[in-house]
Chain A
Amino acid sequence: MSTSENETSRSRGKAPAGERIADWADGRLGIYSLAKANMRKIFPDHWSFMLGEVCMYSFIIIILTGVYLTLFFHPSMNEVEYHGSYVPLQGQLMSEAFSSTLHISFDVRGGLLIRQIHHWAALIFLAGMFVHMMRVFFTGAFRKPREINWLFGFLLFVLGMFTGFTGYSLPDDLLSGTGVRFMEGAILSVPIIGTYLSFFLFGGEFPGHDFVARFYSIHILLLPGIMLGLMVAHLILVFYHKHTQFAGPGKSEKNVVGMPLLPVYMAKAGGFFFLVFGVIAAIAAVAQINPIWAMGPYRPDQVSTGAQPDWYMGFAEGLIRFMPGWEINFWGHTLVLGVFIPLVLFPLVLAVIAVYPFIESWVTGDKREHHILDRPRNAPTRTAFGVAWVTIYMITLVGGGNDLWATHFHLSINAVTWFVRIFFFAGPVIAFILTKRICLGLQRRDHDKVLHGRETGIIKRLPHGEFIEVHEPLSQEQLHTLTAHHQYEPAEIGPTVDENGVERKVPASEKLRAKLSNAYYGEDSQIPKPTVEEYKEITSGHGHH
Chain B
Amino acid sequence: MSSQDIPEENLPAEQDHAHGAVGIADEENPFADPGLPPHEHRIQDVDERAARRSERMVALLFTVSMLATIAFIVAYLVIPNDKSIFVFPIGHLSAMNFTLGITLGVALFCIGAGAVHWARTLMSDVEVADDRHPIEASPEVRAKVHADFREGAKESALGRRKLIRNTMFGALALVPLSGVMLLGGLGPAPGTKLRHTMWTKGKRLVNMNTNEPLRPEDVAVGSLTFAMPDGLEEHDEEFQTEIAKAALMIVRLQPDNIKDKRELDWSHQGIVAFSKICTHVGCPISLYEQQTHHVLCPCHQSTFDLSDGARVIFGPAGHALPQLRIGVDSEGYLQALGDFEEPVGPAFWERG
Contacts and interface: CB of A to CB of B under 8 A. Distances in A.
B101 interface: yes
A263 interface: yes
A255 interface: yes
Given A264-B124, A271-B114, A281-B105, A286 B244 contact: no
For B18, B123, B247, B346, the residue with the greatest tally of chain A CB atoms inside 10 Å of its CB is B346
B330 interface: no
A257 B127 contact: yes
A476 B25 contact: yes
A318 B128 CA distance: 48
Contacts of B90: 286
A380 B11 CA distance: 23
A532 B243 contact: no
B9 interface: yes
Nearest to A322: B316
B351 interface: yes
Interface stretch (B171-179, B211-219, B263-271, B293-301): B293-301
Given A186-B281, A195-B190, A281-B105, A252 B13 contact: yes
B250 interface: no
A186 to B, nearest CB: 6
Contact of B188 (A199, A257, A258, A367): A199
B301 to A, nearest CB: 5
B110 A479 contact: no
Contacts of A181: 244, 281-283
A254 interface: yes
For B13, B31, B123, the residue with the greatest tally of chain A CB atoms inside 10 Å of its CB is B31
A22 to B, nearest CB: 22
Interface string A458-483: 00000000000000000011011001
A240 B100 CA distance: 40
A321 B100 contact: no
Interface string B96-131: 111111101111111111111011100111111111
Given A113-B97, A254-B13, A300-B247, A414 B30 contact: no
Contact of B189 (A182, A199, A535): A199
A239 interface: no
Interface stretch (B140-148, B198-206, B233-241, B332-340): B233-241
Contact of A110 (B12, B100, B132, B245): B100
A325 B318 contact: yes
A250 B35 CA distance: 4
Nearest to A300: B244
Contact of A403 (B104, B114, B125, B301): B301
A327 B346 CA distance: 11
B351 A258 contact: no
A229 interface: no
A253 B116 contact: no
B163 interface: no
Interface in A362-384: 366-372
Contacts of A193: 349
Contact of A325 (B99, B188, B190, B315): B315
B299 A190 contact: no
Contact of B76 (A110, A267, A479): A110
Nearest to A265: B119
B322 interface: no
Contacts of B47: none
Interface in A308-344: 320-327, 329, 332-339
A173 interface: no
A275 B116 contact: yes
A536 B30 contact: yes
* Size class of the A contact interface (CB-based, 8 Å): 35 or more
A286 B286 contact: no
Given A181-B283, A278-B110, A480-B33, A253 B244 contact: no
A259 interface: yes
B186 A200 contact: yes
Interface stretch (A201-209, A427-435, A440-448): A201-209
Contact of A264 (B119, B135, B286): B119
A455 interface: no
B10 interface: yes
Contact of A271 (B11, B31, B119, B283): B119
For B109, B194, B286, B318, the residue with the greatest tally of chain A CB atoms inside 10 Å of its CB is B318
Contacts of A79: 235, 239
Nearest to A276: B112
Given A264-B124, A303-B298, A333-B350, A327 B319 contact: yes
Contact of A332 (B208, B239, B352): B352
A143 B12 CA distance: 12
B81 A480 contact: no
B12 to A, nearest CB: 4
A93 interface: yes
Contact of A42 (B99, B128, B190, B240): B128
A260 B127 CA distance: 9
A31 B135 CA distance: 22
Nearest to A206: B244
Nearest to B188: A204
For A332, A369, A414, the residue with the greatest tally of chain B CB atoms inside 10 Å of its CB is A369
Contact of B240 (A250, A252, A268, A300): A300
A325 B12 contact: no
Given A271-B111, A323-B316, A278 B187 contact: no
Contacts of B317: 325, 338
B340 to A, nearest CB: 15
Given A93-B235, A178-B299, A271 B112 contact: yes
Contact of B112 (A189, A198, A256, A274): A274
Contacts of A206: 241, 244, 282
Nearest to B9: A368
B33 to A, nearest CB: 5
B40 interface: no
A99 B189 CA distance: 31
A301 B116 contact: no
B351 A256 contact: no
A277 B68 CA distance: 14
A236 interface: no
Contacts of B63: none
Given A339-B281, A369-B10, A113 B37 contact: no
A329 B111 contact: no
24 contacts: A42-B130, A189-B346, A204-B241, A205-B241, A208-B240, A254-B13, A257-B128, A264-B125, A268-B116, A277-B108, A278-B110, A280-B105, A284-B97, A286-B90, A286-B93, A286-B101, A300-B244, A300-B277, A305-B298, A306-B298, A325-B302, A332-B352, A336-B346, A369-B135
Given A264-B124, A300-B244, 19 more contacts: A93-B234, A112-B96, A185-B346, A201-B187, A205-B241, A250-B34, A250-B35, A250-B127, A257-B36, A279-B109, A285-B97, A304-B298, A325-B315, A325-B316, A332-B352, A334-B349, A336-B347, A338-B317, A484-B31
